[in-house]
Amino acid sequence: MNGNMTDQSVNDQSSERQEESAGSVELDELRRDRDALQDRLLRLAAEFENYRKRVERDRRDVAELAAADAVHDLLPIVDNLERALQAEGSDAKSLRKGVELIHKQMLELLRKRNVTTIDTLGEDFDPNVHEAVAHEESHAHRDGEVMEELQRGYRLGERLLRAAMVKVAKRP
């Protein structure tokens, strides 16, 4: 009976060592998995930061390119304004002709850039595109009708660039 107990005791100890050894192997494996996941997380964080920086740089480059393109189109107009300012002894008629030419160039540039004007006169007041700076009683206009444009409004595509400043009629 003592022999059986000793054998049992040895078996129990051997079994405990095997469990400890198996536990140690599992623990080592879990540590390796944790380290691999942590390394993967750090790599992904670094890749994301690089991506974020690249997107910001690309956005800045696109904005600069668009600005450069617009400024390039404005330069001939600036040149004509400078010529008009340098003209000596010009009379009012030739000065007006020069300003009309520059105005025409500006309108063409805006058209080319998909900029359109906002219709105002005779339209119903729309707070989305009109800014009422005055109201005036009028028998000749409908209530809420735009009766005078004080400053033209513009859109770029469907986007409002500047609301039109208008005078709106009201019934007496």
Number of residues in the chain = 172
Domain borders along the chain are: 117-172
Class of domain 117-172: mainly beta
| Secondary structure of residue 93 in the 3-state scheme | helix
Element counts in the chain: helices (H) and strands (E): 2, 6
Q: How far is Cα 124 from Cα 28, in angstroms, rounded to an integer?
A: 78
Closest CA relative to residue 155, chosen from 117, 107, 128, 108: 117
Q: Is the pLDDT of residue 47 over 90?
A: yes
Model confidence pLDDT, tens digit, residues 52-106:
999 999 999 998 888 788 878 888 888 888 877 777 766 778 888 888 888 999 8
Q: What's the predicted TM-score (pTM) here?
A: 0.59
